[in-house]
Structure formats: structure tokens, C-alpha cells
Amino acid sequence: MNGPAVGIGEEDDLLVAIAGGDREALARLYDLYAGPLYGWGLRRLGEGTLAEDLVQRVMLKVWRMAARHDPGRGSVRTWIFVMARTAVVDLLRERPRAAPTADLPDREDQRVSDELDALLGAEVVRAALDRLHEDHRRVVELAYFAQLSQSEIAARLGIPLGTVKSRSYYALRALRLSLQEMGVKG
């Protein structure tokens, strides 16, 4: 990496500068993310040239869409890696089918890649959860993380079961929309 590391708030500042056309800010963000994007892309795509294409596509998207990033929706890292996930899918679709080669990732690389996907997925979900109203977020957290039933949630929060059911419905609906806005498909 060239230059000193930057903090999370500084990454937001870099995006503001990029949105204003600052090429040096883009170069700085590139220095921060090119390596991690390339490594992640290499594990997912199995080819150095495709991983390089991934980095180029994502950074070009950052240049074009920097003004659209909303820090309230998630970190710059989450935003970049959501774009990277979409770009990987596109690159895999564009790639001609070929016989497997020895260059494909081994089981350990795949395990690391799967763990990174899980971490990035968790970061995206956490960012989406953080956008929910506190009452809705609490119901979702108790249901999915504490694995409580709706009746148990009602007892724990001291609210009627019908309220838990309606909060669950609206929370999951809002969470789905939030994830879609963040570029998560499916």
C-alpha cells in the first residue's frame, strides 16, 4: 500500500473527494482496496487476469458512483465489496466455459474464500440491520441471533404477541428492501 492507512471516516471523505472528480483520492482508495479486491477476486475467479478485471471494474464503478454512497447504509468497504460480488457474477457469466485447470483454487483457498464471503455477507447484513428502526431490529436480532420464538420475544420485551408478529413482518420487509438497495440479490 502506498501512503499511510486511513480510518473509516477518512474513507468516506475520500469518496466525497472522488465524487468531486479528485483523481488523487481515487488513487488513494485504489491503494487501499486493489490488493484485497485482487486477492478476493483471485480466490473467487481462479484467474489473475479476471481478478485484475474485477479490480478495474470495481474501481471504475467507484469513480462513477462515489456520489451515490450513503455512509448511513454501510461502510465504504461494504459498499465496495457488494459491487465486487456483483462484478464477480458478471465476470463468471462472461467467461467462456473451459475445462478445469490446475490454476483453480485448492480446498484451503476455497475455505478462506468462503469464510471471507461469510464475513462480508455478515457485514452487509449488519449494515442493513443497522438501518432498521430500533424496535424492528430488536425483534429480528432476538429471533435470528438469540433464536427465540415470537412468544418468547413477546415475553422478553413485555409486548403483545401480535405486536411481535407485525414488527417481524415489517422488519423483514424493510431488511429485504435495504439489502436490495445495497446490491444484494436473491
* Distance in angstroms (rounded) separating the CA atoms of residues 119 and 52: 22
Residue 117 included in any domain: no
Which amino acid belongs to residue 4?
Answer: P
- Sign of the CA dihedral 159, 124, 121, 115? negative
Based on the domain organization, do 99 and 156 belong to the same domain?
no
Alpha helices in the chain (DSSP H): 8-19, 23-45, 48-65, 76-94, 107-130, 134-144, 150-157, 161-181
* Secondary structure letter of residue 183 according to DSSP: T
Q: Please count the other Cβ atoms lying within 10 Å of the Cβ belonging to residue 162.
A: 10
Q: Nine-digit cell at 34?
A: 486493489
Based on the domain organization, do 79 and 142 belong to the same domain?
no
Smallest Cα–Cα separation from 117: which of 85, 93, 73, 95? 85
Residue 14's domain spans which residues?
1-108
Residue 114 included in any domain: no
* Distance in angstroms (rounded) separating the CA atoms of residues 67 and 35: 23
Instruction: Count CA within 13 A, CB hemisphere, residue 83.
Output: 23
pLDDT the model gives residue 65 = 92
Based on the domain organization, do 34 and 95 belong to the same domain?
yes
Q: Residue-wise pLDDT tens for the chain (186 aa)?
A: 344 455 556 888 999 999 999 999 999 999 988 888 888 888 888 888 888 999 999 999 999 999 998 887 788 888 898 888 888 888 888 876 554 444 444 554 455 445 545 555 666 777 777 788 899 989 988 887 778 889 999 999 999 999 999 998 888 888 888 777 766 655
How many separate domains does the chain show? Answer: 2
Based on the domain organization, do 101 and 174 belong to the same domain?
no
Residues 137 and 171 sit within 8 Å (Cβ to Cβ): yes
